[in-house]
Structure 1
Amino acid sequence: METEPTEAEMAADTVAVLTAERDEYKDRFMRALADAENARKRADKDRREAQAYGGSRIARDLLPVYDNLNRALAAAREDGSNASTALVEGVELTLKELLNVFDRHGVKRIAPEVGDRFDPQNHEAMFEAPVPGTKAGDIIQVSAEGFLLHDRLLRPAQVGVSSTPAS
């Protein structure tokens, strides 16, 4: 014959059920808290990245302006006439101001020089040629400077690279 559970046994069962329920709610609460914290961190990271790299399209669009100003400056210097002196000065000032704007917004030039080592992280090899007196991987010509936006590459520097000199 079965006996009826005592009041103490029923109370113990109720406490066990309530304790399990409490533990489940506590677990859910802790998971929701962790999810909220992760979402906050993700949103903060996204906001920082948008602030730092949001201007990359306009910066990339301004790079040809920089290139054209450099070409105009080189052509005016080659001309050497008195009429081009004011033009050279104006282009130099415009170029300097463009570089100041780049600097304020985290755009930095990658300006390799002839004789530097080729770095595939920052340089793009436009051609390779054997040049006596150089080592394989030396830069022999710089076609265009490269640019970084903070730590991201906007455009690699375009260079010519020496191959192993022919015997």
Structure 2
Amino acid sequence: MSKEKFSESDEEAFLDDPDELDPEAEEYSDEAIEADELQALKAENGELKDRLLRALADVENVRKRGDRDRRDAELYASTRFARDLLSVHDNFDRALDNITDELRDTAPGLIEGIELTQRDLLNVFEKHKIVRVEPSPGEKFDPKQHQAMFEAPVPGTKAGDIIQVMNVGFMIGERLLRPAQVGVSAGGPATPAPEQDISGE
């Protein structure tokens, strides 16, 4: 039986012919490559989705911060000017507090003009979210809104109770523009201890 010998050209032709390759091996190789590519694409898609969600969240946070800063700028831009106007309000209060019944009878038009001007000033304050902080005697002292000008023992009161309002305060929005100036009770006077009889009788 004679053995057939292949020439180099026959061997190259055999190796280059795709029909001569194992079709099952080629199909398995293609499926493995496709599975790897699919896995890589899924991982890349998940990463891109995560980055997109983070970017959208950052944009939303920037938008909310911008809106809040804009509202704060509108509300608090006039803080210094409003604080300067408080002395005008105080002067109106002092003027009205010193009006006597005789003066009201003598110059009712003048008194009415002062009251209307002060009322107009308070309306402007309200328009710009500026409100009075006006505690009443007996309320509890609040260091966030009140400023203690003095402390004194007062019978029938508890320590920390407001006993006198010397000047009203003001808030602008949620910020304190000026604390209300108040007097605070140090509590009732201490009860003196009974005298002890040391005579021995």
Report how far residue 83 of structure 1 moved: 6.1
Matched, 1:36 2:59: yes
- 2:164 is paired with a residue whose SS is strand
Inter-partner Cα distance in structure 2 for 1:152 and 1:130: 31
* Of 70, 73, 86, the match for 1:47: 70
Q: Residue type matched to 1:106 in 2?
A: K
* Of 61, 65, 85, the match for 1:62: 85
Report how far residue 104 of structure 1 moved: 1.4
- Residues 80 and 117 of structure 1: CA distance in aligned 2, closer, same or farther (over 3 Å): farther
Matched, 1:134 2:161: no
TM-score, normalised to structure 1's length? 0.81
Aligned to 2:33: 10
Report how far residue 145 of structure 1 moved: 0.1
Report how far residue 151 of structure 1 moved: 2.7
1:52-100 residue CA offsets vs partner (Å, 9 max, x unmatched): 333322222211111122122233x159446665443322221111111
Q: Residue type matched to 1:151 in 2?
A: E
Inter-partner Cα distance in structure 1 for 2:32 and 2:139: 85
Aligned to 2:184: 161
- Residues 15 and 116 of structure 1: CA distance in aligned 2, closer, same or farther (over 3 Å): closer
Identity of aligned residues (%): 54
Report how far residue 102 of structure 1 moved: 0.9
TM-score, normalised to structure 2's length? 0.69
Inter-partner Cα distance in structure 2 for 1:155 and 1:116: 18
- Residues 133 and 27 of structure 1: CA distance in aligned 2, closer, same or farther (over 3 Å): closer
- 1:126 is paired with a residue whose SS is strand
- 26-35 or 45-54: bigger deviation: 45-54
Inter-partner Cα distance in structure 1 for 2:153 and 2:167: 21
**Structure number with higher relative contact order (C-alpha < 8 Å, ≥ 6 residues apart):** 1
1:91-124 residue CA offsets vs partner (Å, 9 max, x unmatched): 2221111111111121111112333332323211
Inter-partner Cα distance in structure 2 for 1:102 and 1:114: 25
Question: Which consecutive residues of structure 1, in runs of 5 or more, have no partner in the other structure?
Answer: none
- 2:165 is paired with a residue whose SS is strand
| Equivalent residue runs for 1:98-109 within 5 Å | 98-109=121-132
- 1:165 is paired with a residue whose SS is coil
- 80-89 or 91-100: bigger deviation: 80-89
Inter-partner Cα distance in structure 2 for 1:6 and 1:134: 93
Q: Which of structures 1 and 2 has the bigger CA Rg?
A: 2
- Residues 116 and 30 of structure 1: CA distance in aligned 2, closer, same or farther (over 3 Å): closer
Q: Residue type matched to 2:46 in 1?
A: D
- 2:188 is paired with a residue whose SS is coil
